[in-house]
Amino acid sequence: MKNFAEDVIIEVFEEIKNVNPDFCKCEKCRRDVIALALTKIRGRYACSPEGEIFARVEQSDRQVRADALFAVMEALEIVTKYPHHSEDDSLSKK
Ligand SMILES: [Zn+2]
């Protein structure tokens, strides 16, 4: 089954990372940001079925896009501050 929320997050992320030269482009950080942003947007839409998010995304619902953008920016900030790519995993093991 397709994950619509993830599609939006990835799309927004691809847009943002290009205007954010400081952000590490490695695959690990990319996945961290997407996973984090996804968690955030899922929390926000916890009460809505995935299909509803998709319907709104299809209509280019500006609120959904704005929420996705916000989630990605927050995630970017966190991952930039605490990147997982080169740490020894002892500090921020989840
Ligand atoms: Zn990295």
Tell how far the Cα of 92 is from the centroid of ligand 1, in angstroms. 15
Residue 88 belongs to some domain of the structure: no
CA of 71 to the centre of ligand 1 (A): 19
**How many structural domains compose the chain?**
1
83 C-alpha to center of ligand 1: Å?
6
pLDDT for the residue numbered 69: 93
Q: Kindly state the tokens that stand for 49.
A: 């079925």
So what's the pLDDT on residue 45?
74
**How much is the pLDDT for 13?**
94
Kindly report the average pLDDT of the chain as a whole number: 82
Contacts of residue 67, defined as CB under 8 A and 6 or more positions apart, other chains included, come to 41, 44, 45
Q: Convert the pLDDT of each residue in 49-82 to its tens digit.
A: 777 776 776 666 788 889 999 999 999 999 999 9
For residue 36, how far is its CA from the centre of ligand 1 (angstroms)? Answer: 14
Q: Domain containing 60: what range? A: 4-81
Q: What's the pLDDT at 79? A: 93
Whether 87 is covered by a domain: the verdict is: no
- Residue 71 within a domain: yes
Confidence of residue 17 (pLDDT cuts 50, 70, 90): confident
Q: Is 92 within a domain?
A: no
